[in-house]
Every structure is written in C-alpha cells, then in structure tokens.
Amino acid sequence: MSHKILSTSPTFGYYAAEPLDYLKAHGCSIDLIPQGKKMSPEELAKTLGEYDGAVVGVEKITASVIEGSKKLKVLAKHGAGVDNIDMKAASSRGIVVTSAPGTNSDAVADLTIGLFLALARKIPFADRSVRAGEWPRFAGVQIFRKVLGIIGLGEIGKRVAKRALGFDMKVIAYDLFKDEAFARQWGITYLPLDEVLSAADFISIHIPSMPSTLKMIGARELKLMKPEAFLVNISRGDVLDEEALCRGLQEGTIRGAGLDVFSSEPPKGSPLLALDNVVLTPHMGAYTYEALRETGMICVRGIVDVLEGRKPQFVVNPEVLETMELKGKE
C-alpha cells in the first residue's frame, strides 16, 4: 500500500535527493511545500489531513494542526529540536514524533567559527567596501590564542571546542551537565556562567530553548563581558535578549555579535539590521549538503519504520510506541 508523505521543511528534498529516493523505493509518494511558502495553521491542518506522515521544519505544529490531521501517523522533525511541535497533542493522538539529533553538529560548529572569523576580521564589511569601489584598511583582531567561552558544551559545543583548539584557543565552558572526561581529554575548564562571560574574548551559545533559558543572556550578562569581546548565538533566538544586545552593541558594551537565529524570523524591522558590528545569517547553521543529506535520511528511515510497523531509531515520545504493534527494529 502506498503512503503519502508531505514535507513542509524548506530544505528537505531540495539539496539532497537520496531521502526522496529512499521514500520512493519504499512505496511512498512525497509532496514538497514550495520553498518560501508560508502556511497558516488552518491551511497546514487541512493539508496535513491528507497525509500519513510528514517531514517538518521550524513552523509551529500546534494542537489544532495535529487535531486536524486525522490520517497522520508520524511527524519527523528535519533537525534536532522539537520545541515547535506540541508533543502532548501528538502523543495523545498516537502520532510518533522523531528527530535527527547530531546530524548537523559539524555544520553548525563550522558556521560558529566562521562567524567568529567574520567578526574578528570584519570580513563582511570589507567585502561590501571593496564592491563599492573603496580600498580601506581594516585592522581586525586575531582569534589565535584567545579565550573561547562556550555556553552549552553539548554535541555542537564540543565540536566548536575541538575546532577552536586548532587556533590554540583556551576553552572554558558553562553547562549544567558536565562531561568531565571530555573536558579532561581536551583541556577544557568548566566555570560558572558569570566567570565564563567575564573571562572570554569570544563566546558562543549552544543551549536549547526552554522556559529556563528564555533571555538567559540579557543586559546583566552582557555587561559582564569584556568590551572587546564577540558573541555568537547559533542556538535559538529567544535565549538572547535582542533589545539588550542591540543597546550593548550601540554603547560598546561588547565589540560585536554574530547571529544565525532570532526571536522573530526573519528579523524584519530589527534595529540590529542597521549595525555594522553585527554579522547576520538566515538560520543556516545546519545547511550543508552533508548535514541535510544525513538529516533527511534519518527522517525518512524513521517515517518508513513507523509506517511499516517498526520502532524508529530516534523517537521523541516513546510512550506512543506502547500502543503500536511493532515488528522490532530491522
């Protein structure tokens, strides 16, 4: 029996064809929502109602969307974080939710270092100047042998740390859950958050979005940083107080910031857009061919496993599996 799959992700199927081939090889048809198309919750609920499974991006999958999707059996998040999915509603409907943890860690870590280099050497501003016919002399700073503070030493934070060690940086970190073995192996020192903020020349944020992390980095925390420090947020927009950041950048509390995520995306009308000491990217940390291929493959394997009665590898709500007749992971 053929199953119908919908993708609302702006990246799934557009950069790597292997996941689409996998679905077709397992008797599934796939429809892709066009890139850039925004669907209202009502449209999304109506559309999803025709499908057995879906690959979703960062759009809100609310309770009303889930309730309107009568045929839906599995939701596969095209990424790791499922904070945009109403998990309670999905579980109550018996919908399996899967994610793809760790597949984009290297891609995000690469962009983190790239943003630090862009900020430190003023690369975007220099590029714009040359294109405008100018030939300025920009004096940047080196990241070589500077202090990197990592807020959230999870899978992405660890990869950032390894890359930073190639620049002979001293790495310090803050995390509620400490991996002491990793820290010893790579010479990383865990410190309280305030000490990380005050000691680091470069700071990167890699923490999940949850009530306890809402605006975790605000005016008080920014004032603890060195005036010559750079901050990069590549986790979630709401963990950083953007208004406080904007004031800090304007007043010279810190030297510069790189943002790949925002409290509202895209950040239309944000005063950050007018600042020269900010480098902005469009939530593209995970967007490499390699990461998108692997993320997509985990999504489609999970979808096919659920539809064929097997336990998928990365289940976010395992309690739902208790109500299913599973063949076991094959």
Is 9 within 8 Å of 57 (Cβ atoms)?
A: yes
Question: Among 18, 50, 228, 265, which one carries the catalytic annotation?
Answer: 265
Task: Verify that 296 and 210 share a domain, yes or no.
Answer: no
What would the mean pLDDT of 158-175 be, rounded to a whole number?
98
Q: Is the pLDDT of residue 324 over 90?
A: no
pLDDT band at 327 (very low <50, low <70, confident <90, very high): low
pLDDT band at 330 (very low <50, low <70, confident <90, very high): very low
Looking at residue 329, its pLDDT comes to 47
CA distance 53 to 69: 10
Backbone phi and psi for residue 235, each to the nearest 5 degrees, phi listed first: -100, -85
Give me the domain span that covers residue 132.
Answer: 105-280
136 domain-assigned: yes
What would the mean pLDDT of 207-223 be, rounded to a whole number?
95
291-323 residue pLDDT tens = 999 999 999 999 999 999 999 999 999 999 887
Question: Among 221, 283, 294, 301, which one carries the catalytic annotation?
Answer: 283
Q: What is the DSSP string of 64-124?
A: HHHHT-TT--EEEESSS--TTB-HHHHHHTT-EEE--TTTTHHHHHHHHHHHHHHHHHTHH
61-97 residue pLDDT tens = 999 999 988 899 999 999 888 989 999 999 999 999 9
CA distance 271 to 267: 9
Task: Verify that 175 and 114 share a domain, yes or no.
Answer: yes
Q: Write the single-letter amino acid at 118.
A: A
Task: Verify that 95 and 20 share a domain, yes or no.
Answer: yes
Task: Verify that 251 and 319 share a domain, yes or no.
Answer: no
Task: Verify that 159 and 263 share a domain, yes or no.
Answer: yes
Task: Verify that 69 and 167 share a domain, yes or no.
Answer: no
What would the mean pLDDT of 140-162 be, rounded to a whole number?
97
Task: Verify that 198 and 272 share a domain, yes or no.
Answer: yes
Task: Verify that 235 and 125 share a domain, yes or no.
Answer: yes
Q: Is the pLDDT of residue 325 over 70?
A: no
329 domain-assigned: no
Task: Verify that 297 and 169 share a domain, yes or no.
Answer: no
The yes-or-no answer on residue 236 being catalytic is: yes
119 domain-assigned: yes
Q: Is the pLDDT of residue 230 over 90?
A: yes
Looking at residue 37, its pLDDT comes to 87
DSSP three-state, residue 227 = coil
11-41 residue pLDDT tens = 999 999 999 999 999 999 999 999 888 888 8
194 domain-assigned: yes
Question: Among 236, 242, 255, 294, which one carries the catalytic annotation?
Answer: 236
The yes-or-no answer on residue 308 being catalytic is: no
Task: Verify that 157 and 26 share a domain, yes or no.
Answer: no
Is 103 within 8 Å of 290 (Cβ atoms)?
A: no
| Six-digit token string for 274 | 């007018």
Query: How many residues are listed for the chain in this entry?
Result: 330
What would the mean pLDDT of 51-62 be, rounded to a whole number?
93
CATH of the domain at 236: 3.40.50.720
| Six-digit token string for 227 | 């005036």
91 domain-assigned: yes
Task: Verify that 241 and 128 share a domain, yes or no.
Answer: yes
- Of 70, 52, 2, 59, the closest CA to residue 33 belongs to 59
- DSSP at 33: P
Task: Verify that 113 and 248 share a domain, yes or no.
Answer: yes
Looking at residue 130, its pLDDT comes to 97
CA distance 82 to 213: 15
Beta-carbon contacts of 115 under 8 Å, excluding residues fewer than 6 positions away, are: 232, 234, 258, 260, 279, 281
For the chain, what is the domain count?
A: 2
pTM of the full structure: 0.87
Task: Report the chain's C-alpha Rg in angstroms.
Answer: 21
The yes-or-no answer on residue 265 being catalytic is: yes
